Homo-oligomer: A and B are copies of this chain.
Amino acid sequence: MTAAIIVAAGRGTRMGPSVDKIFLEVAGKPIVVHAWERFAAHPMIDQIVLVVKDGFQSAFHDLAKQFPSHLSRKPYSIVIGGSERQHSVWNGLQALDSKVELVAIQDGARPCTSSILISQTLLAAQEMGAAVAAQRATDTVKQSDDGRTITHHLDRSHLWTVQTPQAFRVEVIRKALRFVMEQNLTVTDDTAACAFIEQPVRLIESTSPNPKATAPSDLPILESLLAQL
């Protein structure tokens, strides 16, 4: 079996203190509903786990009732997020059916992910153990060890920015996150945990826009991208 964990427990401070970005509506639905739908509609996915902030459980059950034609296609469960992303993902992993061998982890604030990208990432994870949707870096990136001067001019042709889905064989992501938490480390994305257990991660090039909502100025872009899907 294959599952999706949708991480919808972020703080989203760049949207302003009182706004939870994933509930903002674009193209007629909250952002998180779009993200959820992409996996509910995907033929490889058997189970969906939503990781939410404590107190928001009923809001998500309400969304499932409000958009039943899409969201009720697959069984879902709701778990509470942790203090960091890695704890949220860990909690999501605990809620998987014992038969789930492959899992895709998705940002709840990323509503435009294509069906083909989900398939490719899952298939690569099945083969390799871990895979992540990514695009070639378009910005020029520099490294600074002191935050004041450039210490390393990185070669842009070797740089990728990672997105979600990030997909794993369940045993791989469990082992990687267990290691990270036992060592009291913090990782900013799920594939970074793989480095600690020497698990290689395949890059899957995302060929259509797959942005995450981070600031209010992103909403018009998401609106126009979703209108084209």
- A residues sitting closer than 8 Å to B (CB atoms) are 128, 132, 134, 137-145, 147-150, 153-154, 156, 158-162, 188-189, 191-192, 195, 200-203, 209, 214, 217, 220-221, 224-225
Contact = CB atoms under 8 A, between A and B. Distances in A.
A214 B160 contact: no
Contacts of A147: 203
Nearest to A209: B217
Given A188-B156, A220-B221, A203 B149 contact: yes
A179 to B, nearest CB: 14
Contact of A161 (B141, B191, B202): B141
A142 B134 contact: yes
Nearest to A151: B158
A158 B141 contact: no
Contacts of A156: 188
Listed from nearest, the 7 A-B pairs whose CB atoms lie closest are A139-B161, A150-B201, A220-B220, A153-B192, A140-B189, A140-B162, A153-B195
A150 B214 CA distance: 25
A203 B158 contact: no
A90 B208 CA distance: 36
A217 to B, nearest CB: 5
A144 B158 CA distance: 5
A142 B154 contact: no
Given A139-B162, A142-B162, 7 more contacts: A138-B214, A140-B161, A140-B188, A140-B192, A143-B158, A149-B201, A150-B160
Contact of A144 (B153, B203, B214, B217): B203
A160 B144 CA distance: 7
Q: Which of A142, A143, A203, A221 has most B Cβ within 10 Å?
A: A142
Given A148-B203, A150-B191, A221-B217, A159 B142 contact: yes
A213 to B, nearest CB: 13
Contacts of A225: 217
